[in-house]
Amino acid sequence: MRKMKVSADRRVPRLIGVLAALVILTAVLLAFLPRRAEGDYALTLDGSAWRGGTAAAGRESGLRVIVTLDGREIAVLPFGEAHVLRVTLKEGGSNEITLTGDSVSMTEADCPNQDCIHMGAVTAENLETRVMGGFIVCLPHRLAVEVQEGEAHGE
């Protein structure tokens, strides 16, 4: 019996399909989990307590970083500016999101597998080509970071 060699070109679309299915499944599962209330988390932006919302933009890149917890938007930051956002959960757990001039990444997390950290950075250049697109997701903490187009909130 002869073994067929599968080229890498045929495996990539299958991998993308599997990962897309996992993202959809995750979104469905998160929709059924109980949501945290407003006071169940704390935010610090660049080392200072922050109430969340939209941070003022210095220079416009056309991209923004949206942070959601349990599917609820808790912060919107301008892409292209240096910031460090820490999300600390009341029941335990924290994540640190680092924005540099040209990338966004999850740099710290105390979840078990740290898959969110291993997802790597989102940049303007890899936004369309990353397997997860503009998303970085921490499933244990139900935290998502998305880089998307739109200069003003709500676009």
129 vs 15, residue with greater confidence: 129
* Higher pLDDT, residue 5 or 142: 142
- The larger pLDDT score, comparing residue 154 to residue 44, is at 44
User: Using an 8 Å Cβ cutoff, are 122 and 105 in contact?
Assistant: yes
- Order of strands across the sheet with 103-109? 48-50, 41-45, 83-89, 94-99, 103-109, 122-123
What pLDDT is attached to residue 155? Answer: 43
In a domain, 154, yes or no: no
Contact (Cβ atoms closer than 8 angstroms) between residue 91 and residue 51: no
Contact present, 80 and 102 (Cβ < 8 Å)? yes
More confident call, 16 vs 44: 44
Q: Is residue 47 part of a domain?
A: yes
Q: Which tokens go with 142?
A: 């139900």
CATH number at residue 88: 2.60.320.10
92, part of any domain: yes
pLDDT score recorded for residue 1: 57
**pLDDT band with cut points at 50, 70 and 90 for residue 102:** very high
d(CA 155, CA 148): 10
| Residue 64 included in any domain | yes
Say whether pLDDT at 3 is over 80: no
Greatest mean pLDDT among 51-55, 113-117, 149-153: 113-117
Q: What pLDDT, in 10s, does the model give residues 27-40?
A: 777 666 555 556 68
Note the residue count of the chain: 155
Domain coverage including residue 70: 8-149
Query: Shortest CA distance to 30 belongs to which of 131, 109, 143, 117?
Result: 143
> What is the pLDDT of the chain when averaged over all its residues?
84
User: Is there a domain that residue 44 lies in?
Assistant: yes
Section 57-72 average pLDDT: 83
Span 105-132, pLDDT tens digits = 999 999 999 999 999 999 999 998 988 8
53-54 vs 72-78, strand pairing mode: parallel
Number of domains, the chain: 1
Q: Which two tokens stand for residue 75?
A: 């912060």
The verdict on pTM exceeding 0.75 is no
* Overall average pLDDT of the 80-87 stretch: 95
Q: Six-digit token pair at 71?
A: 């599917």
Report if residue 108 sits inside a domain.
yes
Per-residue H/E/C for 77-127: EECCCCEEEEEEECCCCEEEEEECCCEEEEEEECCCCCHHHHCCCEECCCC
**3 domain-assigned:** no
